[in-house]
Chain A
C-alpha cells in the first residue's frame, strides 16, 4: 500500500484529446497504473457536462457529487474518468449499516509474533486520506445522516481529520479526491422509487462544491451507448421501414416508459442499463418481444403491464402477451 502513497501525478493531459470535449483544460495524470486504478472501458461514452464537473474535481480539488436516476452510470462515469487519468479510485458502497467505526477505524485483536495484541486498524477514510486516491461514496444518500457527519470536515478542502482514538490529526494527501453519487439530492424518497434513501443534512449537502446531474440522454446518444455495448445489434433491422434500426425502437420504448413514470402511470422505468440488458438478452433469445418481457415487463406491477404493452406496440407494431387487445380478442 505504501507504493500508492508515493505516487504523484507527473504529466498533464489535454481534455480535448482524452475525452473529446471542446475545452482547453489540462488535467494532471499519473504515469503508471496502480492496482487501484480501474480498468479502462474503451467504448464508454462520456457526457460532456458531467465529465467536466468530475474533471474539475480532479484538477481543482473540488468535492463533486453526481446525482441522477438509477442506471444512468454515475459511478462508472467517475471510475472511467479516473481510469483514463491512471488515478487510483476506490468505491465505497454506503448502506444503512455502515457505521462510524467502519469509516474511521477500530481497535481489533491481531496476532503479532504469536501474541494477541489489540491494535488500531484504520478505516477507509483515514486510509484514503493519506494517499492520492479518488474516494467515491456510492449511494451517498443511503448512508445514515448521523454517520455521514464523520466526513464533514474532510469535505472541506484541506480539512484535517482527527483520529480521536489515537490522538492523531491527519492532513489529507494533496492528491486525495472525494466524490459521491446519489439517486436523490438529499431530500429523501420523494418519488417512491428509492426506498432506503435518507434525507440528508443540508449543512453537509452544502459542503459539496459541485453537484452534477446525470439524467437520461437524448435518444441518439443512448442508442450509440447501447450499440457500443452490444455491437451485434447494429445490423438488426427495426420494425419500421427498411432503413430503421432495432435499437432506435428500443430506445423509443425506454423513452415512453420514462414519460409514463413521470406521469405516474408506471412505477418502474427503463434505465439505460435496462436497455443494455434487453439488447444483451436479444442476443440470447433472438426475439425482441420475448427479451423485452424477460428484461423489463416482468419487473413491472401486473396492473401496469398493459400500459407497457401499449408503449411496445407503438414502437414495435407488435402485440405483447399482456396487451389489452390480446385480452379483448381472447374474450
Chain B
C-alpha cells in the first residue's frame, strides 16, 4: 500500500516537472497532465506518437524528459489544423504520418538547447530497444515498421541509428530503398516547412501501409499468421488508433429529467410529513470510542498524503480576501494625530510622521460550507472526501474563514416511518417527499478544526449512508449560512449522484427530487446571497449547478485535487 502511494507520488512529481517543462518550452500556460495524458484547456490532446508515452514501470526519468520535450516541440512547431487536413484516412497510414510529423518537430530543436536533443535521443533509443526486446521485431511487419521508424528518424534529425539493432535493419532497409528512397532524401531539407514535408511523409506512409497490407504476395502465409502480423504492426500504433477516435468521456454526466408532477402542481414541492426529520450533531451519532478510531484512521490517511496546509491557507486567503479596514497604521505623514507620537515631536521637531490612519488589509469576510451527500453510493468515496474536507477545514481555520461541514442522508431506507404513515393513510396521490430527512452537522461554524476534528471523523461511519434528498438539504445549508455574519457565502456540494429516494420516486414520479434540486439551486442562484458550487465525485454535476467541477477520486487524494477545488472557487475551473 505504502509502495503504491510512493509510486503515485513519484508519478505526480515527474508529471509536474514534465508539465512545467512542456509549458516553458511550448510557451503555453494552459497545458496539464490529467490521467497521464496531456490536456490543453481541459481538453485532451492527441497522443501524437507511441514513444511519447513512457510508463513508470519500464522507463527512467530521462525518458519522461524526452517524451515531454517531444510533446512540447510538437505543440510549438506543428500546426494541428494543417496536420489534420493533410492526414490520410487509412488508420495505419495516418499513424505513420503522425509519427513522421513527430520526427520532423524533433529535428527542430533550437541550437541553444542541447539537453533537449539528448533527451529526445535517449527517449527514442529507450523506446526502440523496448520495442525490440518485447519481440515485436520478430515478425516481418513488426520489423518493417521498426525499420521505417529508425531510418526516417535518423534521416530527419541527423541522429545516428540505435546501434544495438543496426544490423537487424540491414535487409529491410535495403529492400525499402527503391520504394521510399526519393521521399526519404527530401525529408531533412523540408523539415522546417510542415506542408512541404507532409508531401514526402505522405508518400512514405502510403508506400509502407501498402506493404503492410499486401497479403497476396506470400502464398505460404495462412490467414492466421497474417492477422497476427498485422496486429503486431498495429500494436505499435495501437495506442493512437484506440484513443484518438474514442470519445474523451472520463466521467459520466448526471442524468436529470423533469417531473410532471412537480412542474404542474400548484403548491410546488411537497413533503408528506416532517414529523420524523432530524438534525444531528455527528458526534451524537457515533460512539466516542468508535469516533476515536475513525479519527485515528483519518489522521493516518492525512499524514500519508501530506497536505501542505499552510500553502492551502495562503491560497484560500488570496482567493477569498477583500481589502477591509483593520486597525491603525502608525507613522503616517497625514491623517489623525497619533497621541503616542507627541513625545517624539518634542524630541525631534523635524519628524513629520506623527499621524495614523486606518489600515486597509485583505480580510477574508467569508463563510464556506461543505455539504456532503451521504447517500449509499458515497460510501466508497468517503475516505478521500474526508481527507479533502479535513484539509480544507484546517486550512480555512488558519485563513480565518468560517467553515462548516454538513451532511445529508435519510433516517431510513425505503421511506421508513414516513412511508408507513402514508400507506396507513391509504396512499393519497402526490404525497411529495416520502422519507425521514436526516441532516448531520459534522463541523459547525463556531467550532474550530481542533474542537471539531472528531466530528469530521464521523464521515467514516459507513452506516450513516442511506439515501439522498439534495434539494431540501441545500435549503437547510443555505439557511445556516445566512445565519452567519459574512459578506460572501459559499456552499460547496460534494456529491456523486442525482438525488435518490426510492419511496419518493415510486410514490410521485422518477425525477421528482432532481427537479426539485434544480429548482432550489436556480432559486438560490437568482437570489445570489449564497454562491453554490457542485463538486462531483466522478460525476459531472453540471445539470444541477452552474459552477461545477468533477473530481477524480478513484486514485488517491493529490494536491491537484485541492487545487482543482480552489480553481472552482476562483471561477477558473477547467472541465
Contact = CB atoms under 8 A, between A and B. Distances in A.
A325 B114 contact: no
Nearest to B114: A240
Given A259-B27, A317-B118, A252 B112 contact: yes
Nearest to A243: B111
Nearest to A257: B24
A249 B17 contact: no
Given A248-B111, A314-B116, A316-B114, A101 B17 contact: no
A245 to B, nearest CB: 8
A265 B62 contact: no
A99 B333 contact: yes
Interface string B1-44: 00000000000011001001101110111010000000000000
Contacts of B65: 310, 313
B251 interface: no
Contacts of B29: 262-264
A315 B113 contact: yes
B17 A306 contact: yes
Given A99-B333, A324-B14, A260 B24 contact: yes
Interface string B351-374: 010000000000000000000000
B113 A249 contact: yes
A101 B352 CA distance: 10
Given A238-B112, A263-B20, A325 B118 contact: no
Given A99-B333, A263-B29, A317-B118, A311 B24 contact: yes
Interface string A150-185: 000000000000000000000000000000000000
Given A99-B352, A313-B65, A324-B61, A265 B112 contact: no
B20 A310 contact: yes
A244 B65 CA distance: 22
Interface string A306-331: 11001111111110000011001000
Given A265-B20, A307-B17, A314 B25 contact: yes
Nearest to B69: A314
B216 interface: no
B130 interface: no
Contacts of B327: none
A128 interface: no
Given A310-B65, A325-B61, A328-B61, A265 B24 contact: yes
A315 B118 CA distance: 10
Interface string A130-165: 000000000000000000000000000000000000
B115 interface: yes
Nearest to B311: A303
A263 B24 CA distance: 7
Nearest to A259: B24
Given A241-B111, A244-B112, A314 B352 contact: no
Given A238-B112, A324-B61, 16 more contacts: A241-B114, A244-B111, A248-B111, A252-B110, A260-B20, A260-B23, A262-B27, A265-B20, A307-B20, A310-B21, A314-B21, A314-B25, A314-B69, A317-B118, A318-B115, A325-B62
List the 9 closest pairs (A to B, CB-CB), nearest first.
Answer: A240-B114, A263-B29, A252-B112, A248-B112, A317-B115, A263-B23, A259-B24, A265-B20, A256-B24
16 contacts: A238-B114, A240-B113, A248-B112, A259-B23, A259-B24, A260-B24, A264-B29, A265-B23, A307-B20, A307-B21, A313-B119, A314-B69, A316-B114, A316-B115, A317-B114, A324-B13
